[in-house]
Amino acid sequence: MTRYEAIMARVQEHYNDALKRIPEERIIGIFLEGSQNYNMDMENSDIDTKLFIFPSLDDIIYNKTPISTTWIRDNNEHISVKDIRLVMTTFRKQNLNFLEVLFTPYFILNPRYSSLWNVLVTNREKIARYNQHAAVMAMYGVAYNKFKMLFKISEATEKSIKKFGYAPKQLHHLKRIEYFLEKYIEGNNYMSCMRPPQDVTAELIAIKQGKYNKDIAKRMAEESIKHIKEIRKYVIDNAEIYNKSNTEVNLNLIAIQKKLMMIYLKSEVSIAE
């Protein structure tokens, strides 16, 4: 079994779990998130996914809050569930953690909606630069959180901090985001920003495995967050270039959302009748 086949088999398990909770007609698709998308996974890496769904007819009629939740599987892997209306909003917010689903090769689409979803994939580079200021601000927020978590004991970091004196995974994320932002602001294509070359990837994996001692890690983290703050300041200072939303992209997102909802609701209403 190839690496792709092995990952897809586990994504299929997530999809099968989703079908036990959500009718298939409400499911747009399920998409891998995380280290596999960056080629930075290890043998024991979890498979986590995002599941995009439609609101039910009752959700719409009774104006219920759009679903945004996380299901934790028995093996502790996560399925993040999100209403399609919120998905389009997250794309506009430009956070890599959501935009990566447009670039992952690991996904399962409901055939009923695949042609429309693929329009988004075709336009993913434009969507990923809908507003570059928003993108940098979003990733700065993620990076700063990773910086703060480097020495902070939590359920996620306690074991590694006891072993290394810090959380190597948080340093790895911080360095990965630094690389991403540097390449993103240079105008490189989004996939190359997400997936560094082999030598950089190897170093990031080594960092995640605890390559450096506590003192070196602290210095590296401080240098990285300083660099990230400099990128952030540059973008803020040049707002006339970076703080612009792409009207074409926005209209495209609105149109795709509307068409998807119409396809789904036609079948939903006919069933209700």
**What confidence score (pLDDT) does residue 233 get?**
98
Assess whether pLDDT exceeds 60 at residue 5. Answer: yes
Assess whether pLDDT exceeds 60 at residue 272. Answer: no
**What confidence score (pLDDT) does residue 271 get?**
57
Going from N- to C-terminal start, the domains of the chain cover 3-123+259-272, 132-242
Average pLDDT over residues 72-95: 97
| pTM for the predicted model, two decimal places | 0.94
Average pLDDT of every residue of the chain: 96
**What confidence score (pLDDT) does residue 270 get?**
63
Candidates 3.90.950.10, 3.30.460.10, 3.30.70.980, 1.10.510.10; correct CATH number of 3-123+259-272? 3.30.460.10
What is the per-residue pLDDT across 251-271, written as a single tens digit (0 to 9) for each?
Answer: 999 999 999 999 999 877 765
Rounded to 5°, angle at Cα 20 from 16 and 24: 75
What is the per-residue pLDDT across 112-126, written as a single tens digit (0 to 9) for each?
Answer: 999 999 999 999 999
**What confidence score (pLDDT) does residue 73 get?**
96
What is the per-residue pLDDT across 20-48, written as a single tens digit (0 to 9) for each?
Answer: 999 999 999 999 999 999 999 988 889 99
**What confidence score (pLDDT) does residue 43 get?**
82
Average pLDDT over residues 128-140: 98
**What confidence score (pLDDT) does residue 20 get?**
97
Confidence of residue 207 (pLDDT cuts 50, 70, 90): very high
Average pLDDT over residues 199-222: 98
